[in-house]
Structure 1
């Protein structure tokens, strides 16, 4: 059986095109909808210059094709500093388990970065695929939370967490 693998590549200036591909209505349905070109450019600058955490372009290790993005970044959650993660897999690569593989890889990257004990993911309660990724990647469901994303847009999310101090 040929098991597909992924490789995480640090986000680079040349990866702006991927934000455009991930900005479709179907890909942003659970995130408040597509962003403007100016918002995408600002996001790209944040990704390239991220000082707390790291963004990645996800490649299929077998073929070297770009399949999506994932990353982790610092934030405060319920009074403590934590890492947060989020991802997107291009439609033509969905359904292969690549997001869960990338999530497992980003757990290891966040663990190696140190600094914070917990890594959280906050998918919408209605985003079944992303909630499944959290389960498959070993996150623990803590419950529902009201979450603001993007700014000014409130949604009910699941709060998934993984303890980076546990092996």
Structure 2
């Protein structure tokens, strides 16, 4: 298996999850902002998601990393690679807490994890499942170089699927 990495960029540290991350995660998942991920979620469901984000490292050699701003130490969100029965393919996903949006954190973090997935984990392909109404995440996927794949399997019928290795199918 692959150990949980800690990745750094010029501004960010992508690090393993800690229990101290739970309150902010729970708060986000209980709000209307979670609608693009199928929410809002009850505390019990959010806890299951939080645990799954971490457990995937042992089960699949991938999972979530929290995004810390190096300058302030603040946790600004999460980036991860999801796998397992709920995901037809390896999925690159992200979120940023509301107070940190618009600063390029999601792009920088996703780009770093995408590079790790390709160069270290050597995943053959990655996709991002994006709610059709989530314009910002669609724009980010395209900014990362992903292309829309209308033929890919998806976990929810209305999801758009962006393929991060164009020309490679899952």
Tell me, yes or no, whether TM beats 0.5: yes
Cα-Cα RMSD: 2.8
Asked if 1:19 corresponds to 2:25, the answer is yes
Count of aligned pairs between the two proteins: 155
Match of 2:116, SS state, is helix
- SS in structure 2 of the partner of residue 43 of structure 1: helix
Where do 5+ consecutive residues of structure 2 fail to align? Answer: 1-9
| CA distance, structure 2, for counterparts of residue 77 and residue 10 of structure 1 | 22
The answer (yes or no) to whether the contact 1:55–1:69 under 8 Å persists in 2 is yes
After superposition, residues 5-16 of structure 1 pair within 5 angstroms as 5-16=11-22
Is 1:94 the counterpart of 2:96? The answer is: no
Shift of 1:76: 7.2
**Structure 1: unaligned runs, 5 residues or longer:** 149-153
Structure 2 CA distance for aligned equivalents of residues 84 and 75 of structure 1: 10
- Give the structure-1-normalised TM-score: 0.79
Q: How does 1:132-151 map to 2 (within 5 A)?
A: 132-143=139-150, 147-148=154-155
If each structure's helix is expressed as a fraction of its own residues, which one has the higher value?
2
TM-score by length of 2: 0.78
Partner of 2:68: 59
Which of 153, 156, 159 is the equivalent residue of 1:157?
159
Provide the secondary structure at the position in 2 that maps to 1:11: coil
Give 1:21 shift.
2.9
